[in-house]
């Protein structure tokens, strides 16, 4: 047994070839660990930016009638503070752990799509820089991070401020959805042998729930931003009340995304705490399956409580009651987690490390935020507290007391694994207690300030209202938080230079990441480790509750050898093209065209490079499905929400037109029926193309692939003809509400058809070059799935728009 254990753990101490160094190696990296580090450094940088914005806000509010900043600057500061902390700091801080730890924790060498992972990071970074570039041109977003209409419409916000915000959020949304698809495929399909779903670490489970929340919750906010963009840039009427639109549409779309976003931010912290507490209590997590199921329920219920943010909007008693009950119900699985964590600590042999301090701090402070959240589930109470500082206190107890404390627990816990060195525990304890004191001094008094009537978003106030003292204390506490964060940065810098060296398993860990060296080699594991049960590494070292150790099995060597993807700069080029296109929307059409060309060139090279250098030789994983097919199914699920939201908006607005021709007076149903038949027949050609590739008939494959693309171009030609005819009949984007919904809905579908045609032409060109063999049939099948989805969506659109009067 001892001999086997020595062989099993030998790779922890093996000397591996050093990774490539230099700035260029980081720019071109596709290593999930390096990308995780890039996410972490970028998130901390944006966190510092958002923190400075918060300190200026608190300085302005420290005294009555303060003139530190103007009202306009204050509006920009709180808008960018909220946007930065949610989208550019806390979310990517979680992504840093997803990227670095998930493959290690499931026994994989990398993520499913390393180049897509790199593309996601560069889009995120450039999107964040794009939003903050608004400061450089004197036009920072200033409409609040909720972006409520009509405030954000062109007539009320005529400058480019809101344009920076809405374009930047769309860029960040694309990055998040790409990452979500990638991690879902990775977790479901690349687990080590024996790592069944219920044996996965809780952090992996919470990460999986988060990825599903991302791919399903981002489409509604994307549609909301698209509608706002068209209203501002092209004069449509989605939020124009005078033309029949509804400003509450924005609130619904924003909060359908916004409340799942809360769990996107908090569930990674819950997962981290569920790993940290058992390690430092030296006990298995109490009721681990229950913790997993409660996390799934939180994600599920999170989609059904969005309108508790809208109790003051006048939805009516039925809606208020339904969302009130839903909000109360979602507290149950959250409370279950807290009791399970406490039961884990009970009777444990606790080691009070800094990581443990932060995990325990989350349990205490998040409970405060959760209890104040339950108060908001009551519409009468919520009406008193909404838009006051009570709400500000509530969500900071959730996002700092919850998310940030959990993420800092993860930082102290996994820092030795990532860097190979320890953080200073004494300095860490000082930083922890300073953060606890500063945080509570900042936000607990805000409950009282809100209760006595201080509204949120107020930039100054007069004396004699009873607000002065607690605002001053809140400002003092905010600077305490800032000093604590500074101490963490000092601790991190000292650790990288002078920190004590860490072994492979410094905490006597329970999960697979502790089996490999600190930091891990490029390929993570010399041999993929087998999994014997939950907390498999702990069982190998210490046995189960009766001291029985699992029957030893040798680690599984990779049947194809260790194959890692080559570095690439095309993800950065593609991301640059996207941001150039967004910048062109604010400047000149020529810049838009330039950005689109860069995207096309980068995307084309990206696709060809992936074909030449696949990330993994074996693309079939745990589910018996090719990674690419699993990813496409996941993406199409997100697309269902995208088009579903757009079609639902069309149906909600149907018949609300104030002016213009009746739609069915000008819809050319015979013409559209022909184009619909053409598109449906293209699906048949796609099936024939796939079968031809599968049997190795290159001539037939080429003919059917180009034939499918040709039928797609015919459909686009019909659509262009129809659009031109409508314009001649007087129906335009700006004419009425039907014109707005019709052209945006069918236009986005046409854009999807055009993308499908580009994919088909790429396959056809690969076939012409002799690079589409039988083993590449899954690639054709993935494109076929996309093409069939586009056809099905058109059937729904044709039925709803053309056939139903």
Residues 6+ apart with CB under 8 A from 392: 443, 446, 450, 456
Q: Is 337 a catalytic residue?
A: yes
Residues in the chain: 805
Instruction: Return the SS3 of 462.
Output: coil
Catalytic residue among 28, 95, 120, 334: 334
Catalytic residue among 149, 175, 511, 518: 175
Q: Is 781 a catalytic residue?
A: no
Give the tokens for residue 367. Answer: 């409970």
Residue 279 CB-half CA count within 13 A: 31
Q: Is 175 a catalytic residue?
A: yes
Instruction: Return the SS3 of 542.
Output: helix
Q: Is 749 a catalytic residue?
A: no
Residues 6+ apart with CB under 8 A from 60: 66, 68, 69, 74, 459, 460
Q: Is 263 a catalytic residue?
A: yes
Catalytic residue among 259, 421, 610, 749: 259
Catalytic residue among 199, 456, 556, 691: 456
Backbone angles phi, psi at 566, to 5 degrees: -80, 155
Catalytic residue among 58, 81, 396, 616: 81
CA 339 to CA 585: how far, in whole Å? 51
Question: Are the beta carbons of 707 and 687 closer than 8 angstroms?
Answer: no
What is the DSSP annotation of 237-250?
A: -TT-GGGT--THHH
Nearest Cα to Cα of residue 398 among 295, 308, 265:
265
Q: Which residue has the tokens 């490999």?
A: 516
Q: Rounded to the nearest 10 degrees, how much is the dihedral formed by the CA atoms of 188, 192, 196, 200?
A: -80
Q: Is 259 a catalytic residue?
A: yes
Q: Is 275 a catalytic residue?
A: no
Angle at which helices 71-83 and 114-136 cross, to 10°: 170
Q: Which residue has the tokens 């030795």?
A: 416
CA 34 to CA 453: how far, in whole Å? 48
Catalytic residue among 31, 163, 261, 535: 261
CA 479 to CA 476: how far, in whole Å? 5
642 burial level (CB within 10 Å; 0-12, 13-18, 19+): buried
| Beta-bridge mates of residue 626 | 620
CA 698 to CA 359: how far, in whole Å? 58
Q: Is 334 a catalytic residue?
A: yes
Instruction: Return the SS3 of 528.
Output: strand
Give the tokens for residue 104. Answer: 């290690």
Question: Are the beta carbons of 451 and 445 closer than 8 angstroms?
Answer: no
Residues 6+ apart with CB under 8 A from 228: 147, 149, 152, 153, 162, 166, 238, 239, 250
Catalytic residue among 100, 145, 397, 570: 145
Q: Is 309 a catalytic residue?
A: yes
Q: Is 255 a catalytic residue?
A: no
Q: Is 261 a catalytic residue?
A: yes
Catalytic residue among 255, 263, 650, 653: 263
CA 76 to CA 559: how far, in whole Å? 56
Backbone angles phi, psi at 353, to 5 degrees: -70, 170
Catalytic residue among 32, 109, 308, 510: 308
Nearest Cα to Cα of residue 441 among 482, 411, 385:
482
Catalytic residue among 53, 110, 320, 535: 110
β strands within 449-524, DSSP E: none
Catalytic residue among 28, 149, 152, 176: 176
Catalytic residue among 152, 186, 207, 274: 274
Catalytic residue among 252, 309, 534, 539: 309
Q: Is the dihedral of CA 545, 549, 551, 557 positive or negative?
A: positive
Question: Are the beta carbons of 255 and 308 closer than 8 angstroms?
Answer: no
CA 168 to CA 384: how far, in whole Å? 34
Q: Is 145 a catalytic residue?
A: yes
Catalytic residue among 109, 191, 283, 337: 337
| Beta-bridge mates of residue 620 | 626
The alpha carbon of 301 is separated from its chain's Cα centroid by a whole number of angstroms, namely 18
Question: Are the beta carbons of 230 and 238 closer than 8 angstroms?
Answer: yes
Considering only CA atoms, give the Rg of the chain: 27
Q: Which residue has the tokens 């409508």?
A: 726
Nearest Cα to Cα of residue 277 among 558, 507, 467, 51:
507
Q: Is 33 a catalytic residue?
A: no
Q: Is 110 a catalytic residue?
A: yes
Catalytic residue positions? Answer: 81, 110, 145, 175-176, 259, 261, 263, 274, 308-309, 334, 337, 456
């Amino acid at each position: 047994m001892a001999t086997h254990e020595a062989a099993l753990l030998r790779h922890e101490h093996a000397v591996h070839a050093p990774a490539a160094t230099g700035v260029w190696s980081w720019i071109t990296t596709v290593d999930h660990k390096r990308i995780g580090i890039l996410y972490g450094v970028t998130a901390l940088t944006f966190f510092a930016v958002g923190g400075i914005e918060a300190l200026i806000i608190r300085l302005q509010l420290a005294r009555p009638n303060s003139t530190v900043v103007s009202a306009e600057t204050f509006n920009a500061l709180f808008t960018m503070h909220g946007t930065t902390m949610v989208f550019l700091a806390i979310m990517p801080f979680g992504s840093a752990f997803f990227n670095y730890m998930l493959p290690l924790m499931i026994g994989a060498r990398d993520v499913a799509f390393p180049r897509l992972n790199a593309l996601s990071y560069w889009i995120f970074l450039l999107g964040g820089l794009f939003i903050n570039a608004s400061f450089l041109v004197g036009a920072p977003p200033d409409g609040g991070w909720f972006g409520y209409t009509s405030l954000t419409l062109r007539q009320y916000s005529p400058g480019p401020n809101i344009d920076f915000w809405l374009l930047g959020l769309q860029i960040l949304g694309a990055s998040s959805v790409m990452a979500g698809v990638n991690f879902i495929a990775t977790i479901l399909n690349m687990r080590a042998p024996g790592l069944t779903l219920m044996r996965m670490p809780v952090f992996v489970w919470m990460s999986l729930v988060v990825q599903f929340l991302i791919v399903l919750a981002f489409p509604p906010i994307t549609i909301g931003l698209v509608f706002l963009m068209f209203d501002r840039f092209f004069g449509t009427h989605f939020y124009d009340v005078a033309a029949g639109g509804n400003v509450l549409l924005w609130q619904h779309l924003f909060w359908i995304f916004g409340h799942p976003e809360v769990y996107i931010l908090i569930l990674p912290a819950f997962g981290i705490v569920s790993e940290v507490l058992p390690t430092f209590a030296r006990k298995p997590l109490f009721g681990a399956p229950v913790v997993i199921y409660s996390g799934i329920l939180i994600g599920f219920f999170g989609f059904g409580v969005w309108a508790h943010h809208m109790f003051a909007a006048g939805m009516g008693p039925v809606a208020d009651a339904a969302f009130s009950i839903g909000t109360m119900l979602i507290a149950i699985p959250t409370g279950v987690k807290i009791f399970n964590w406490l039961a884990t600590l009970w009777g444990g042999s606790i080691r009070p490390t800094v990581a443990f301090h932060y995990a325990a701090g989350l349990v205490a402070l998040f409970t405060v935020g959760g209890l104040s959240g339950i108060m908001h589930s009551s519409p009468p109470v919520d009406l008193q507290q909404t838009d006051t500082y009570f709400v500000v206190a509530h969500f900071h107890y959730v996002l700092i007391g919850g998310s940030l404390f959990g993420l800092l627990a993860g930082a102290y816990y996994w820092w030795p694994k990532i860097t190979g060195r320890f953080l200073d525990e004494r300095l860490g304890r000082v930083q922890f207690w300073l953060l606890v004191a500063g945080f509570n001094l900042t936000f607990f008094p805000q409950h009282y300030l809100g209760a006595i009537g201080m509204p949120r978003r107020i930039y100054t106030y007069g004396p004699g209202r009873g607000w002065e003292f607690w605002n001053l204390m809140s400002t003092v506490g905010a600077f305490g938080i800032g000093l604590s964060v500074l101490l963490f940065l000092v601790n991190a810098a000292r650790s990288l230079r002078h920190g004590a060296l860490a072994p492979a398993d410094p905490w006597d860990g329970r999960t697979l990441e502790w089996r490999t060296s600190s930091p891990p080699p490029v390929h993570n594991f010399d041999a993929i480790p087998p999994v014997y049960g939950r907390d498999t590494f702990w069982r190998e070292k210490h046995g189960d509750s009766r001291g029985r150790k699992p029957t030893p099995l040798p680690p599984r060597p990779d049947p194809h050898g260790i194959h890692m993807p080559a570095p690439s700069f095309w993800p950065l080029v593609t991301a640059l093209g996207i941001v150039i296109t967004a910048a062109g929307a604010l400047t000149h059409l020529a810049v838009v065209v330039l950005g689109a060309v860069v995207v096309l060139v980068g995307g084309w090279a990206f696709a060809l490079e992936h074909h030449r250098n696949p990330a993994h030789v074996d693309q079939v994983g745990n589910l018996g499905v090719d990674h690419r097919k699993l990813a496409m199914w996941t993406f199409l699920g997100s697309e269902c929400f995208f088009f579903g939201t757009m079609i639902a908006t069309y149906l909600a607005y149907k018949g609300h037109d104030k002016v213009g021709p009746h739609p069915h007076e000008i819809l050319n149903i015979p013409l559209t029926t022909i184009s619909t038949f053409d598109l449906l027949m293209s699906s048949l050609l796609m099936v024939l193309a796939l079968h031809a590739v599968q049997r190795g008939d290159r001539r037939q494959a080429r003919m059917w692939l180009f034939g499918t693309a040709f039928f797609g171009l015919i459909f686009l030609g019909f659509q262009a003809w129809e659009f031109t005819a409508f314009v001649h009949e007087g129906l335009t984007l700006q004419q009425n509400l039907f014109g707005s919904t019709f052209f945006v809905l069918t236009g986005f579908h046409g854009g999807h058809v055009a993308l499908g045609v580009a994919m088909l032409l790429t396959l056809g060109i690969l076939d012409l070059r002799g690079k589409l063999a039988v083993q590449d049939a899954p690639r054709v099948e993935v494109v076929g799935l996309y093409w069939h989805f586009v056809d099905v969506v058109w059937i729904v659109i044709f039925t709803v728009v053309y056939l139903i009067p």
